[in-house]
């Protein structure tokens, strides 16, 4: 990066002719390896995937410390410009998973090179101050002033991030996946999620929003509220897909192939129906009912 900070990077070249580029931003406490499996499928369709460890995560320096949303957005902007310069004329898509989705939303709030053709938000982290229960926000505000360096593990919460148990066990053994999170880092993440929620109505490029009906990380109520902001601009190039069998880690769930085929199809031609067809939720979907309640 321009300030000398090093971001570990993984580049997954396509099979055959290069048709598009995906710049992939991982989720909270995760790192670039999150896209190893998805990148293999994208490569078979001529898509180059570039993933890097965001500051404070993976193999970066000061791992576990919050670098700040502004700095993370700046890093993503630099990476975008580098890729546009390296591959002129090739469309670039921003893919953000969870926290990475929030960073992508914030990145889209500033001018970007013309090569940016769209964004894919996979269960974006939009559960900020406005959508959290009051007792959680109060506890976090107090804790960040009383014990900012204290850590939490999430054990005992019984939250299921995916139905892919083998993948979850591998994450538990992976030393680069952060297991204990500082309270001031959670506070910074909440600020980022809150900004992403507010800015969801200003996304100036085509966007594909992905969400699983079984997501226990980003609550359905928060996604329903974000959905209204997402469509508030009235753009006809914004789409939202609801997967009835999907969890938070949509790109690594057991049904990830369905989601990734939709992503590939959308990148190649967003005007055509996506291949998942009626496997994508309709009137019977839990989130759909919640969003239309009352």
CATH of domain 9-291: 3.40.50.1820
The Cα–Cα gap between 92 and 47 comes to 10
List, as one string, the DSSP characters of 28-80. TT--GGGGHHHHHHHHTTTEEEEEEPPTTSTTSTTTTS---HHHHHHHHHHHH
- With beta carbons less than 8 A apart as the criterion, state whether 118 and 205 touch: yes
pLDDT of the residue at 290: 58
In the block, which residue shows the tokens 């999620």? Answer: 193
Task: Give residue-wise pLDDT tens across range 128-163.
Answer: 888 788 778 888 889 888 888 898 887 766 789 999
Domain boundaries, the chain: 9-291
Task: Give residue-wise pLDDT tens across range 201-247.
Answer: 999 999 999 999 899 999 888 998 898 888 887 888 888 898 888 99
pLDDT of the residue at 66: 96
Task: Give residue-wise pLDDT tens across range 92-127.
Answer: 999 999 999 999 999 999 999 999 999 999 999 998
The Cα–Cα gap between 267 and 208 comes to 9
Task: Give residue-wise pLDDT tens across range 54-65.
Answer: 999 999 999 999
């Amino acid at each position: 990066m321009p300030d000398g900070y090093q971001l570990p990077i993984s580049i997954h070249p396509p099979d055959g002719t290069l048709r598009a580029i995906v710049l992939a931003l991982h989720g909270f406490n995760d790192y670039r390896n999150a896209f190893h499996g998805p990148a293999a499928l994208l490569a078979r369709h001529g898509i180059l995937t570039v993933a890097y460890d965001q500051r404070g995560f993976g193999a970066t320096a000061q791992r576990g410390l919050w670098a700040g949303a502004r700095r993370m957005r700046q890093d993503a902007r630099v990476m975008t410009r580098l890729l546009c310069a390296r591959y002129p004329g090739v469309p670039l898509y921003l893919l953000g998973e969870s926290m990475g989705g929030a960073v992508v939303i914030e990145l889209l709030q500033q001018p970007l090179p013309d090569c940016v053709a769209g964004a894919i938000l996979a269960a974006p982290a939009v559960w900020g101050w406005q959508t959290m229960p009051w007792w959680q926000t109060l506890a976090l505000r107090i804790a960040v002033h009383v014990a900012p360096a204290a850590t939490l593990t999430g054990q005992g919460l019984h939250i299921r991030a995916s139905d892919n148990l083998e993948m979850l066990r591998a994450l538990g053994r992976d030393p680069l996946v952060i297991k204990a999170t500082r309270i001031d880092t959670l506070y910074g993440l909440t600020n980022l999620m809150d900004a992403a929620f507010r800015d969801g109505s200003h996304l100036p490029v085509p966007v594909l929003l992905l969400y699983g009906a079984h997501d226990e990380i980003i609550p359905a109520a928060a996604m329903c509220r974000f959905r209204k902001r997402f469509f508030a601009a009235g753009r006809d190039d914004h789409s939202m897909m609801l997967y009835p069998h999907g969890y938070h880690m949509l790109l690594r769930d057991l049904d990830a192939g369905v989601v990734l085929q939709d992503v590939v199809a959308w990148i190649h031609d967003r005007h055509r129906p996506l291949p998942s067809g009626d496997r994508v939720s309709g009137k019977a979907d839990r989130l759909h009912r919640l969003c239309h309640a009352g």
